[in-house]
Amino acid sequence: MASTQDAWYISLLGLAEHFRTSNPPDIKSCIQCLQAVFNFKPPQRVEARTHLQLGNILLTHTKNIDLARTHLEQSWCLSQTINGFDDVKFEAASVLAELFEQQGQPTHSKPILRKAIELSQHSVYWHCRLIFQLAQIHATEREYEVASSLLGVGVDYAQISNAAYTRVLFLLSRVMLLLIDKKIQEVLPLLNQAMHLVDTWAGSPHQKEYLKVFFLVLQVCHYLMAGQVKSVKPCLKQLQQSIQTIMAPTWPDDDAVCGTASGESFVWLSRQQLYVLVYLVTVMHSAQAGYMDKAHKYTEKALAQIDKLTSSACAEGGGRAAAEGARALRGGAALAWRLRMALVEHAALCRLVAGGKAHALHEIARAAHLLTVAPSQCVAAAHTPQLHCLLGLYAMSMNCMEAAEAQFHTAINMSQERDLWMFAKLNLAIVYLRGRRDNELTQIMEQVRPEALPTYAHGLRAASYYVLGLQAFFQARYNEAKRYLRETLKMANAEDLNRLTSCSLVLLGHIFLSINNSRESMNMVTPAMQLASKIPDVHVQLWASAILKDLYRLAGDTERENEAYQMHCNFSQALLKDHFQATQLPQHALVNWTSGAPPVLPAPAATPALQPAPAAPGAPPANT
């Protein structure tokens, strides 16, 4: 009788798999076959596995999330008491925890994963995988200390289990969290430890190169967070060389990189995802260094690569096991969204500096549209303050000062990122400066003076000195202004912050002109114009051409005065034309959006080619 019963449910399982893999799949019949298994009162193992299969299929192919969760809960409950049933037991825990997290209930996910971690200490693969998953949930909840502590446990466990590759993955993941949490003093010793482990790696050369790319990405981000654009160049070059090695046709797939050891079946990102990430950090570097054309070029390449990545992921998903394929697709889609959003944000910043305001507005509208299709509300909420900050910069460039103030206040109130908060406040200070609102300016400058900023934030501190110099200039305290601006120049030149350098030089030129020192003014304005042309930054060029016109007039050089005057007129006309174009766009209404979901706008079109136009007058360069 038992063998007949076995034949029944084995036949039903086989039939269910046939329906699932048919072309097109017959999911309804597949589910009916799996549900029929329970009519035969199968053994506990079969019952638990069938509940897991049903849960995965319902999640992957239907919208019946509640029923999927019920089956997963039953699978997890049944399998906990079964010895040697790791794949079903821990997969059920993992998928169930992921489902709760997607539903915005991470407090339900955590106890499930903690229990699974407790039960899985004998299984290196599952123990490590579950630690990674729980740490990710805590990190998403901004519980960075708990997440970091978990990853530290993973480092020790992997070392005891002789999983050397996974040990370095845990270590680098911990470095990444500390960077996010701005625990810079704790980052350096761990980075050095990771560098030693990678340099002395005696295992698979493919694993070594993969770990090297992970390490270099973190090292580059560490420098870029601090605004150390010059210092980052050697490791950025190394990173670009390493990614070329990984992207070579002879490089094995990700499974081969992991190797055959059960505790080392992990990759941080696929090589295609790493490729896009390297493009992104290159864009970040170019934007901070003031090479806007280069940043734009790399942004377009990276966005094209993301399109290719998402289309190929969808094609590959159908060939994998249903549950793994669906999870990989969900995770890949979420990562692609984050990468795309970061690139569009940088594209908007670059447009504000070197492109037209109308072009920048198109990019901002693309970012607003992305918010409406974010993988979760939590992810959308994390990026919304950055979009308000971009809108504040755009509004400044359009002389919409009330809107700019409202946008910066919104970004400050919504943001939990200290650096973004400081950046918004520095720009808000410029709004107050231009409005001659001395009381508000005094209050906000106390919060963003260089000594009030983190020691690691080199770029923000340099920008703070610039804003202090601008304030002193507006108040005709010229000697004090020169002192602040020379400090800015020293810091900006040390790290190739070219836009901040050009802004400081032209302001110094304006100061020397105001005190009738034409020679020193020319010495400042000439390199400012050259650097602004290289960036290109049309607004600094407009400012510099106005000063040059006055200098040549004072020198009696009529020919050059006329040349400078004509140059100034050309820039002014381009600005006015671009300003008018931006005001006519329906997306301009975004400047009035300060709460709730973004307003409904026309579908974002492809952004036109880069055209020269200005950014906000006197605004410090973007360091986010």
Q: What pLDDT does 130 receive? A: 96
Counting other chains too, the contacts that 386-391 makes at CB distance below 8 Å and 24 or more residues apart are 386/345, 386/411, 386/415, 386/420, 386/624, 387/345, 387/598, 388/414, 388/594, 389/415, 389/420, 389/423, 389/424, 389/427, 389/624, 390/345, 390/348, 390/349, 390/352, 390/364, 391/364, 391/590, 391/591, 391/593
pTM for the predicted model, two decimal places = 0.85
Q: How far apart are CA 219 and CA 172, in angstroms?
A: 10
Q: What is the pLDDT of residues 411-463, one digit of tens each?
A: 999 998 888 999 999 999 999 999 999 999 999 999 989 998 888 889 999 99
Is 232 a residue whose pLDDT tops 60? yes
Q: What pLDDT does 545 receive? A: 95
Which residues, 6+ apart, have CB-to-CB distance to 364 below 8 Å? 348, 387, 390, 391, 394, 587, 590
CB 251 within 8 A of CB 274: no
Which residues, 6+ apart, have CB-to-CB distance to 44 below 8 Å? 78, 82
**Alpha carbon of 289 to those of 79, 164, 500: distances in Å?**
56, 37, 9
Residues 505-521, mean pLDDT to the nearest whole number: 95
Share of the chain above pLDDT 90, in %: 63
Helix axes 271-289, 233-246, angle to 10 degrees: 150
Q: What is the pLDDT of residues 15-70, one digit of tens each?
A: 878 888 888 888 888 888 888 888 878 889 989 999 999 999 999 888 889 999 99
The dihedral over CA atoms of 221, 223, 229, 230, expressed in degrees to the nearest 10, equals -130
Instruction: Place 212 in a pLDDT band, splitting at 50, 70 and 90.
Output: very high
Q: What pLDDT does 313 receive? A: 57
Q: What pLDDT does 565 receive? A: 94
Is 203 a residue whose pLDDT tops 80? yes
| CB contact burial 74-97 (16+ within 10 A = b; e otherwise) | bbbebbeeeeebbebbbbbbbbbb
Instruction: Place 590 in a pLDDT band, splitting at 50, 70 and 90.
Output: very high
Q: What pLDDT does 457 receive? A: 87
**Mean pLDDT, rounded, of the chain:** 88
Is 92 a residue whose pLDDT tops 50? yes
Written in H, E and C, the secondary structure of 121-152 is: CCCHHHHHHHHHHHHHHHHHCCCHHHHHHHHH
Instruction: Place 609 in a pLDDT band, splitting at 50, 70 and 90.
Output: very low
